A and B are shown apart, each in its own frame.
Chain A
Amino acid sequence: MLWHVVKRVLQSIPLLLGIATILFVVMHLAPGDPVEMYLQKRGERSANGRPFDPQMEQLIRHKYGLDRPIPVQYALWLKNLVRGNMGESFQYRRPVSALIADRLPYTLQLTALALVLGAIVGISLGIASAVKQNSALDKAVSLGSLTVYSIPEFWVAVMFILLFAVTLRWFPISQTRSLDYFLYSTTGRFFDRIWHLILPVAVLTLGSAAGTARYMRSELLGVLNEEYVVAARARGLPEKRVVLRHALRNALMPIVTIYGLALPFLVGGAAVVEKIFSWPGMGALAVDAVGARDYPVIMATSMIAAVLVVMGNLLADVLYAVVDPRVSFDGRRTG
Chain B
Amino acid sequence: MLLSVRNLTSYFFLDEGVLKAVDGVSFDIQENETVALVGESGCGKTIVALSLINLIPAPGRIIAGQVLLSGEDVVTTPKDRLRQIRGGEIGFVFQEPGSSLNPVYTVGHQIAEVLQTHRGLTRKEADKEAVRLLGATGIPDPEKRAKSYPFQLSGGMRQRAAIAMAISTRPKLLIADEPTTALDVTVQAGILDLLEELQQQYGMAILIISHDLGVVAQIAQRVLVMYAGKLIESAHVDALFSSPKHPYAQGLLDSVRLRADRNAPLRGIPGSVPDLLRLPGGCTFHPRCSVSDLSCRTQFPPMLPLAGDRSCACYRVHQ
Binding site for B on A (CB under 8 A): 225-228, 230-238, 241, 246, 249-250, 253, 324-326, 334-335
B149-165 at interface with A (beta carbon < 8 Å): 149-152, 165
Complex Cα distance, B235 from A306, in Å, reads 72
Chain A residues with CB under 8 A of B57: 225, 230
Say yes or no: B92 contacts A249, CB within 8 Å: no
Say yes or no: B53 contacts A234, CB within 8 Å: yes
Chain A residues with CB under 8 A of B101: 228, 231
Chain A residues with CB under 8 A of B151: 325-326, 334-335
- Quick check: is B257 within 8 A (CB to CB) of the other chain? no
| Distance in Å: Cβ of A249 to nearest Cβ of chain B | 5
Residue among B53, B92, B104, B113 making CB contact with A325, cutoff 8 Å: B104
A-B contact pairs, 11 of them (CB 8 A): A227-B94, A228-B100, A230-B100, A232-B102, A234-B53, A235-B114, A236-B85, A236-B114, A249-B104, A324-B104, A326-B103
Say yes or no: B99 contacts A236, CB within 8 Å: no
Chain B residues with CB under 8 A of A226: 99
Say yes or no: B100 contacts A231, CB within 8 Å: yes
| Distance in Å: Cβ of A233 to nearest Cβ of chain B | 6
Residue among B88, B150, B152 making CB contact with A236, cutoff 8 Å: B88
Q: A326-B149, A326-B151, A335-B152 are in contact. Are A235 and B104 (CB under 8 A)?
A: no
Say yes or no: A233 contacts B55, CB within 8 Å: yes
- Quick check: is B118 within 8 A (CB to CB) of the other chain? yes
Beyond the given pairs A246-B102, A325-B149, 12 more chain A to chain B contacts, judged by CB atoms under 8 angstroms and listed by A's residue number, are: A227-B96, A227-B100, A230-B57, A230-B100, A231-B100, A235-B86, A236-B88, A236-B117, A237-B113, A325-B103, A334-B151, A335-B150
Complex Cα distance, B106 from A249, in Å, reads 13
- Quick check: is B84 within 8 A (CB to CB) of the other chain? yes
| Distance in Å: Cβ of B50 to nearest Cβ of chain A | 8
The residue in chain B whose Cβ has the minimal distance to the Cβ of A325 is B149
Chain B residues with CB under 8 A of A324: 104
Say yes or no: B104 contacts A250, CB within 8 Å: yes
| Distance in Å: Cβ of B177 to nearest Cβ of chain A | 10
Chain A residues with CB under 8 A of B150: 335
Say yes or no: A237 contacts B102, CB within 8 Å: no
Say yes or no: A250 contacts B102, CB within 8 Å: yes
- Quick check: is B87 within 8 A (CB to CB) of the other chain? yes
Complex Cα distance, B92 from A235, in Å, reads 7
| Distance in Å: Cβ of B189 to nearest Cβ of chain A | 24
Chain B residues with CB under 8 A of A253: 104
Complex Cα distance, B117 from A246, in Å, reads 14
- Quick check: is B267 within 8 A (CB to CB) of the other chain? no
The residue in chain A whose Cβ has the minimal distance to the Cβ of B80 is A238
Q: Which of A225, A235, A326 has the most CB of B within 10 A?
A: A235
| Distance in Å: Cβ of B313 to nearest Cβ of chain A | 30
Chain B residues with CB under 8 A of A249: 102, 104-105
Residue among B104, B114, B166 making CB contact with A237, cutoff 8 Å: B114
Complex Cα distance, B252 from A158, in Å, reads 73
Q: Per-position contact with A for B69-100: 1 when CB-CB < 8 Å, else 0?
A: 00000000000000111111000101010011
Chain A residues with CB under 8 A of B113: 237
Residue among A227, A238, A326, A335 making CB contact with B117, cutoff 8 Å: A238
Say yes or no: B86 contacts A233, CB within 8 Å: yes
Say yes or no: A234 contacts B99, CB within 8 Å: no
Q: A227-B99, A334-B151, A335-B152 are in contact. Are A236 and B104 (CB under 8 A)?
A: no
Complex Cα distance, B289 from A271, in Å, reads 74
Residue among B87, B103, B105 making CB contact with A234, cutoff 8 Å: B87
Chain B residues with CB under 8 A of A236: 83-88, 114, 117-118
The residue in chain B whose Cβ has the minimal distance to the Cβ of A229 is B102
Complex Cα distance, B149 from A334, in Å, reads 11
Chain B residues with CB under 8 A of A230: 55, 57, 94, 100
Which 6 residue pairs across A and B have the least CB separation, nearest first? A335-B151, A236-B87, A235-B87, A236-B86, A231-B100, A227-B99
Chain B residues with CB under 8 A of A232: 102
Chain B residues with CB under 8 A of A250: 102-104
Complex Cα distance, B58 from A233, in Å, reads 14
Complex Cα distance, B88 from A235, in Å, reads 7
B106-143 at interface with A (beta carbon < 8 Å): 113-114, 117-118
| Distance in Å: Cβ of B284 to nearest Cβ of chain A | 28
Q: A228-B101, A324-B104, A326-B149 are in contact. Are A235 and B165 (CB under 8 A)?
A: yes
Complex Cα distance, B59 from A225, in Å, reads 12
The residue in chain B whose Cβ has the minimal distance to the Cβ of A134 is B58
The residue in chain B whose Cβ has the minimal distance to the Cβ of A324 is B104
Chain B residues with CB under 8 A of A234: 53, 55, 86-87, 92, 94
The residue in chain A whose Cβ has the minimal distance to the Cβ of B106 is A325
| Distance in Å: Cβ of B89 to nearest Cβ of chain A | 9
Say yes or no: B103 contacts A228, CB within 8 Å: yes
The residue in chain A whose Cβ has the minimal distance to the Cβ of B149 is A325
The residue in chain A whose Cβ has the minimal distance to the Cβ of B88 is A236
Say yes or no: B92 contacts A237, CB within 8 Å: no
Chain B residues with CB under 8 A of A225: 57
The residue in chain B whose Cβ has the minimal distance to the Cβ of A228 is B102
Complex Cα distance, B86 from A232, in Å, reads 10
Chain A residues with CB under 8 A of B149: 325-326
Chain A residues with CB under 8 A of B55: 230, 233-234
Complex Cα distance, B154 from A335, in Å, reads 10
Q: Which of A232, A238, A253 has the most CB of B within 10 A?
A: A232
| Distance in Å: Cβ of B41 to nearest Cβ of chain A | 17
